[in-house]
Chain A
Amino acid sequence: MKADIRIALVGNPNTGKSTLFNVLTGLNQKIGNFPGVTVDKKVGYCNLPDGRTAEIIDLPGTYSLYPKSRDESIVFSVLADSSNELNPDLVIVILDATNLKRNLLLYTQVADLKIPVIIALNMMDMAKKADLTIDVDDFARKLGVPVIPVSARKVEGIDKLKEAITFANKIALQQNSIDIEAIAPQLIESIKQEIGVDNPYFALQLAHQHETLAFLTPQQSDRIEELEKEHSFHSQKAQGAETIARYNFINDLLYDTVTQSVTAEDETLSNRIDKILTHKVFGFIIFFGILMFIFQSIFAWSAYPMSLIADGFVWLQSNLHHYLPAGILANLLIDGVIAGLSGVMVFIPQIAILFAFISILEDTGYMSRVTFMMDKIMRKVGLNGKSVVPLIGGFACAVPSIMSTRTIENWKDRMITIMVTPLVTCSARLPVYTLLISLVVPNKNIWWIFNMQGLALTAMYLFSLVSAVVVAWVMKYILKSRERGYFIMELPVYRMPRWNNVLHSMFDRAKTFVFEAGKVIIAVSVILWVLASYGPGNRFDQIDRKYQQTQYQKAGPDSLKRMVASEKLENSYAGVLGHVIEPAIKPLGFDWKIGIALITSFAAREVFVGTMATMYSVNGDAEKIESVQQKMRTARNEQTGQPVFTLAVAMSLMMFYAFAMQCASTVAVVYRETKNWRWPAAQFAYMTVLAYAASFVTYHLLK
């Protein structure tokens, strides 16, 4: 879509910026990524009263143009770099009317860059409730910019804002806030001349941020560095001086324009809620209650839509097989692509549910209380208070959980959380564990109430959480971070969630997952399908011919089909691979049949059960776990005649599944969230090494 004017939304976090963005653009928005970082780039379109279209960019929330995180660094580079494809013609700065002082700091910084600005004074309804009187006209006159009072939640003042956009000046008319030159007079003058900028604040910002700005040439950056040395410029001292000067300006401005009638220091509602929600005892009880509820919901509420999606695809596949002419292309489409698509779509319910909850937790302000409460424990192992939600969500599925790590601002904390979340026992491991546990652990009770199989399963769950924490602790020392581990964080006032935002967030997440991670998942699924359905040379033809002989025809069509399928899988590329890797997995107690299952279950862990069913040509439905079990129990090693699935093998296999990154979807989503193949590769490598080591030790201890 071609827009006539480009507008950037800038503001502090928790000022209702996203709500305003949603109100202005409706469903007409695109989510992407800012180049090089994993911050959502939200772009939407809005029709102006004069018929023009405005392109609106929602920039990450920040308290200052001096970035403290990678997300925040985007704001300055978009605003300042005129060659940036997102460089705006106009900036709307959103100010929270109930918290003007801190909000105005960012405004004065943006205004001094001399980009045309409009102020949207949000939460006017809340300000009225708090008995704040703002002389909007005087405020606008003193700043020299249009100031539009709005209430984004109640959709008030939006028409006025659109009008103001329509009539906005093409040149910046705002008043200067502070004397920029006074901060570093000679340096600013030199940068202005040598780099060729005319705005003094832009020159000063270059002095502070030149090392990280992509639009400066290395020569320019080096020259600025030299100039700084020449004029003995101290970045942090200069920032401090600038901030103090700005707050002086702001205090004067607010003194003249804002009055608050008698600040009755009565306890706010928010404070009273906090007394309960961050209480020593109730705080944790409530938090774990909420976590359990979310976890249960992902499990329980998604079960029905997930099976609906899965069944829908099965129905589609069988119908297509019926109507399409048989052949390689039809097979590729139906068993490769559509099966892969089904594997993608099936995640949508879990993603939507988890993000509905996360959106509510964030919107209400509860998420920052979670961080507040959990910080002390989580920090010890290199995680963040907010890592708790992805870790617990990981018990259901790592895919939405890894997507949810975006709420963690600190880069290092986020990366560690992403790296360890797949260790947590997800629901796809459950069928594998139940199958193996019921195979080797007796179904007996100890101390009357504890079922041994149940205990074994519980142990696997606890073990996964412990291993995630230990790995996180190790990574704390491995990962290097330039960011400093701050915890200086606003605790926003509790608010009702905005259902509109919740729906937007569910929809956005599901969409980004399908379109971005989906590609990789489908590709992997097609590759695995080819591996499992084709074999080298004419082996498959020989199998077909072999079973056409009369001696096999007595077996009946069903069991014949199973025998063919089992022998074909053995002779497929996957089967060949299984044989190839056998020497490598033999020390773990696995034979080539298990090897094949390890390969095919890379699509999803639960495929292990299906592959085992095919390998042992199980009668009837592969869903019937008992029949698979029966076959596996009686399976004997061809050479030794010993049972294949001994306690040692089953335990070793469980250890392998506990640690190994046997999930293409997770790999895809980690890539999508880190935007760099190094991360999923490193994760795959460390998890495989751990899996191998754990299996090896387990097998040899129990053998």
Chain B
Amino acid sequence: MRLSQLKVGESGTVKEFTDLEMSVKLMEMGCLPGEKVRVERIAPLGDPIAINVAGYQLSLRKREASTIILMST
């Protein structure tokens, strides 16, 4: 399951990343393995999305969100 597949209001826990360069930036922003993320909203045109992570709101494009693999529940 990837972060980009979540619907608004759904949450998951970060497991790993598929893009090394992107993962460095994401981890710096507090989006680390083991961290809980929740999709807060999707932009009116369907992209980007806004997620809640580490106590604040982060927006990222769907393509970027698809590099985040969530733990299977």
* 8 tightest Cβ-Cβ pairs between the two chains A and B: A491-B57, A376-B45, A102-B30, A280-B44, A243-B27, A64-B28, A487-B61, A239-B24
Say whether A443 faces chain B, with CB atoms less than 8 Å apart. Answer: no
A308 contacts B by Cβ under 8 Å: no
Complex contacts, B60 vs chain A, CB 8 Å: 487-489
Is the CB–CB distance between A278 and B44 below 8 Å?
Answer: yes
Q: Report the minimum CB–CB distance from B3 to chain A (whole Å).
A: 12
The answer to whether B24 touches A236 (Cβ under 8 A) is yes
Assembled-state Cα–Cα distance A102/B24 (Å): 14
Q: Which B residues from 8 to 35 make CB contacts under 8 A with A?
A: 20-30, 32-33
The residue from A243, A278, A283, A377 contacting B28, defined by CB atoms under 8 A apart? A243
- A32 CB to closest chain B CB (Å) equals 29
Query: A476 on the interface (CB 8 Å rule)?
Result: no
Decide: A376 near B48, CB < 8 A? Known: A102-B54, A490-B57, A491-B59: yes
A330-363 interface (Cβ within 8 A of B): none
Which residues in chain A, 487-522, are within 8 Å of chain B measured between CB atoms? 487-493
Q: How far is the CA of A98 from the CA of B54 in the complex (A)?
A: 11
Pick from A3-11, A292-300, A367-375, A527-535 the stretch touching chain B. Answer: A367-375
Task: Tell me whether B47 and A243 are in contact (CB under 8 A).
Answer: no
B41 touches A375 (CB 8 A): no
Q: How far is the CB of B4 from chain A (nearest CB, A)?
A: 13
- Show the binding face of B for A, using Cβ within 8 Å: 20-30, 32-33, 40-41, 43-48, 50, 54-61, 64
Nearest Cβ in chain B — how far from A204, in angstroms? 14
Chain B residues with Cβ below 8 Å from A271 are: 40
Distance (whole angstroms) from the CB of B42 to the closest CB of chain A? 9
Partner of A240, one of B20, B46, B58: B20
- Given A271-B40, A375-B47, also A491-B20 (CB < 8 A): no
Contacts of A274 in B (CB 8 A): 40-41, 50
A244 touching B61 by the CB < 8 A rule?
no
Q: Which of A101, A236, A490 contacts B58 (CB 8 A)?
A: A490
8 additional A-B pairs beyond A64-B28, A375-B48, A488-B58, beta carbons within 8 Å, are A98-B55, A102-B56, A247-B27, A279-B44, A376-B45, A488-B22, A488-B29, A493-B57
Determine how close the nearest CB of chain B comes to the CB of A207; give it in whole angstroms.
15
Which residues of B lie under 8 Å from residue A376 when comparing CB positions? 43, 45-48
B23–A487 CB distance below 8 A: no
Query: How far is the CB of B9 from the nearest CB of chain A, in Å?
Result: 12
Q: Establish whether residues B28 and A66, one from each chain, have CB atoms under 8 Å apart when the complex forms.
A: yes
Chain A, residue nearest B60 (CB): A488
Contact A372 B28, CB 8 Å, known A284-B44, A489-B60: no
Judge whether A240 and B30 touch: CB under 8 Å. no
A383 CB → nearest B CB, Å: 14
Nearest chain B CB to A276's CB is how many angstroms away?
A: 12
Q: Does A237 touch B at the CB level, under 8 Å? A: yes
Point out the residues of chain A lying under 8 angstroms from B24, CB to CB: 66, 236, 239-240, 243
CB distance from B44 to the nearest CB of A (A): 4
Do A278 and B47 form a contact, CB below 8 Å, given A486-B25, A487-B61, A491-B58?
A: no
- Residue-wise, chain A 250-275 has the 8 Å CB interface mask toward B (1 for contact) of 00000000000000000000110011
Q: How distant is the Cα of A690 from the Cα of B57 in the complex, in angstroms?
A: 44
A213 to B27, CA, bound (A): 24
With an 8 Å Cβ cutoff, the count of chain A residues facing the other chain is: 42
Instruction: Give the docked Cα–Cα distance between A493 and B26 (Å).
Output: 19
Note all chain B residues with C-beta closer than 8 A to A373.
43-45
Taking CB atoms, residues of chain A closer than 8 Å to B20 are 236-237, 240
A99 at the interface (CB under 8 A from B): yes
> Is A68 among interface residues, defined by CB-CB distance under 8 A?
yes
Closest residue on chain B to residue A62 by CB atoms:
B28
CB distance from B11 to the nearest CB of A (A): 11
Closest to B51 in A: A491
Check if A139 is an interface residue, CB within 8 A of chain B: no
Residues of A close to B21: CB separation below 8 A:
236, 484
Q: Is the CB of A372 within 8 A of B27?
A: no
- A91 contacts chain B at the CB level, 8 A cutoff: no
A610 to B23, CA, bound (A): 59
Contact (Cβ within 8 A) B41 A99: no
| Interchain pairs with CB closer than 8 A, number | 107
Instruction: For residue A659, give the distance in angstroms from its CB to the closest CB of chain B.
Output: 30
Query: Assuming A99-B56, A236-B24, A243-B32, is B50 touching A488 (CB within 8 A)?
Result: no
Is the pair B30, A372 in contact by a Cβ cutoff of 8 Å? no
Q: Are B64 and A491 in contact (CB under 8 A)?
A: no
Asked if A101 and B57 make an inter-chain contact with CB atoms under 8 angstroms apart, the answer reads: no
Chain A 97-109: CB-based contact to B (< 8 A → 1; otherwise 0) = 0110110010000
Cβ of A249 under 8 Å from chain B: no
Q: Which residue of A lies closest to B50 (CB)?
A: A491
Chain B residue numbers with a CB within 8 Å of A68 are 25
Q: 22 A-B Cβ contacts within 8 A? A: A68-B25, A99-B54, A101-B54, A236-B21, A237-B20, A240-B24, A243-B24, A244-B33, A270-B57, A274-B40, A372-B43, A373-B43, A373-B45, A375-B61, A376-B47, A487-B61, A488-B60, A488-B64, A489-B59, A490-B29, A490-B58, A491-B58
Instruction: Select A278's contact among B27, B30, B43, beta carbons within 8 Å.
Output: B43
Residue of B nearest to A377 (CB): B45
Check if A473 is an interface residue, CB within 8 A of chain B: no
Q: Taking the nearest CB of chain B, how far is it from the CB of A298, in angstroms?
A: 26
Measured CB to CB, the closest approach of chain A to B72, in angstroms, equals: 21
A101 pairs with B32, CB closer than 8 A: no
Residues of A contacting B29 in the complex (Cβ-Cβ under 8 angstroms): 63, 102, 488, 490
A280: chain B residues at CB < 8 Å are 44
Determine the distance from Cα of A247 to Cα of B26 in the docked complex, in whole angstroms: 13
Residue of chain B at shortest CB distance from A102? B30
Scan residues 32-72 of chain A and give those whose CB is less than 8 A from a CB of chain B.
Answer: 63-64, 66, 68
In the complex, which of the residues B21, B40, B44, B54 has the most CB atoms of chain A within 10 Å of its own CB atom?
Answer: B44
Closest CB of chain A to B73's CB: distance in Å? 19
A280 to B8 CA separation, bound complex (whole angstroms): 14
Task: Give Cα A371–Cα B59 distance, bound, in whole angstroms.
Answer: 10
Chain A residues lying within 8 Å of B22, measured Cβ to Cβ, are 486, 488
By a CB distance below 8 angstroms, the chain A residues around B44 are 278-281, 283-284, 373
Distance (whole angstroms) from the CB of B58 to the closest CB of chain A: 6
The smallest beta-carbon distance between A380 and chain B, in angstroms, is 11
- Bound Cα distance A493, B55 (Å): 11
Residues of A within 8 A of B57 (CB): 270, 490-493
- What is the bound-complex CA distance between A64 and B28, given in angstroms? 7
A281 vs B45: C-alpha distance when bound (angstroms): 10
**A240 close to B23 (CB less than 8 A):** yes
Closest chain-A Cβ to B51's Cβ sits at a distance in Å of 9
* Complex Cα–Cα for A64 and B30 (A): 11
For A487, the chain B residues whose CB sits under 8 A away are 48, 59-61, 64
Cα(A382)–Cα(B48), bound, Å: 16
Q: Which residues from B are CB-within-8-Å of A244? A: 27, 32-33
A372 contacts B50, CB within 8 Å?
yes
Name which of A280, A368, A372, A375 has the most chain B CB atoms within 10 A of its CB. Answer: A372
Which residues of chain B are within 8 angstroms of A368 by Cβ–Cβ distance?
59
